[in-house]
Amino acid sequence: MPIANGNGAVRNSHRSMQQHAEGPAAMLAIGTANPTGVVVPQDIFAENIFRVTKSEHLTELKEKMKRICQKTGIDKRHFHLTEESLAAHPEFLDRQVPSLDSRIDMADTAVPELAQCAAIKAIAEWGRPATDITHLVFSTYSAWQAPSFDHQLAALLGLRPTVCRTILSLHGCYGGGRALHLAKQLAENNHGARVLVACSEITLVCFGGPDGGNLIGSALFGDGAGAVIVGAGPFAQGERPLFEMVSATQTTIPRTEHVLGMQVSGGGVDFHLGIQAVHPGGRQILDNIDTELKLDAGKLAASRHVLREYGNMSGATIIFVLDELRRRRKEDGDDLLPEWGAMLAFGPGITIEAMVLRCPRASSLSNN
C-alpha cells in the first residue's frame, strides 16, 4: 500500500518496515577507562578510609575492615573521589547530612566524561566514524536527572541527533549484562544498526564514613567505565566480530528482593546487602561458581584478574572481563581458548543476566 509523505512523495510501506539483520549480533570493539583521581592499594585501603573520614577512633571497625580487605582478592582500585574533593565536601562523611545535590553535581560531569574515554577507545578500534552509531544504551547507578547521561555522552561524542538513546538506571552489577542484552536485540532487529553500549560507575554517589553496614561495599567497589560497539551482519569492510552474542536471557530469583538492593536518600545511595557473605562481584561468588559448576582450573581467570586489578566496578565490570578475555585470546591464539562460553552478571532482584558467546576463529572470518 502506498503512503504519502508530508511533501507529497509516495513511498512503499513494505520498504518502510524495519528489516532484520543477517545472523546473530556480535561485539565489534571494546574500550575501557578508569578515573585518574587516585589508585588505592587494597592493603592500605582500611587505613586510608578511616583516616580521611576521621574515624580512626573506631578501632574494632577498622580491624574488621582490614580483615575484609584481605579476603576480597583485590590488589588495588581506582577512584574519582580524592582527598581534596572530600575536604571540600565534608558532608559526604556523614550520611545523616544531606549531600545528594553535591554528589549529583559532581557525577553530572564525571560519569559521562569517564564513559566518553571508554567509548573513544571502542570507536577507534571499530574504525568507523561515531556518526555511524545508530543506537546508544547507557547504564549507570549515578543518574537522577534529565536530560541524562545518555544525552550528554551523545553530545560529547558528536553522535547524530537521530541516534536512538536509552538510559538504564540503578541496575547495579547486572547493568552491563542488561545493556549488552538490549544491544543484541536492537542490532538483530534493525538492519544495519550499530549500537554503542556504555557503562560508567563512580562510587562517590555511595561514599560515606565507615559504619557497621557499609564495610563490605566499601572494600569491594571501585570506579570504571566500559564501552562496546555491537552490530549484526552484514558486516562492513574492516569490521571483525570479537564475540558472537548467540543467545541471552534474564532471570529473577523469586523472593530475593530483600537480599540485595539500592536506595537513594538525601545522603546518597545506600547499598543493602542482606547476605553479606555472598556479595555479588566479590571473590566468594567466583569461588562458589567454580565449585558448583565444577569448572576446570583457570576458567574464571579473566574475571579474577579484573577483580584483582580494579575491584567491583558494578555494571562496567563485565566489559573489563570481556576485554581481558579478548586480550588473552590475542596473546595466546585461538586454539588455546574455547570457542564457546557463557557470560553471567548478577544484581538486585536477585537478577541474573546470562549470554551464550561464541569466539569466531580467525580462519572462519570472511574477508570483508
pLDDT tens digits along 289-326: 767 667 776 778 888 999 999 999 999 999 999 999 99
Bond into 41 cis (ω within 30): no
DSSP for 256-283, written as a single string: -TTTEEEEEETTEEEEEESSTTS-TTSH
Q: What is the pLDDT of residue 273?
A: 57
Name the percent of the chain in helix, strand, coil, to the closest 5. Answer: 40, 25, 35
Dump pLDDT digits (tens) for 230-263. Answer: 999 999 889 999 999 999 999 999 998 887 777 7
Residues with a catalytic annotation lie at 173
pLDDT class for 39, splitting at 50, 70, 90? very high
Confirm whether pTM is higher than 0.85.
yes
C-alpha cell at 29: 570493539
Q: Between the CA of residue 329 and those of 169, 283, 332, 333, 334, what are the distances in Å?
A: 32, 23, 5, 5, 6
Dump pLDDT digits (tens) for 338-365. Answer: 888 889 998 888 899 999 999 987 655 5
Mean pLDDT over 208-233 rounds to 91
Q: What is the pLDDT of residue 279?
A: 29
Q: What is the pLDDT of residue 337?
A: 72
pLDDT class for 276, splitting at 50, 70, 90? very low
Consecutive H or E run containing 1: none
- Indicate the DSSP class of residue 208: -
> How high is the mean pLDDT of the chain?
86
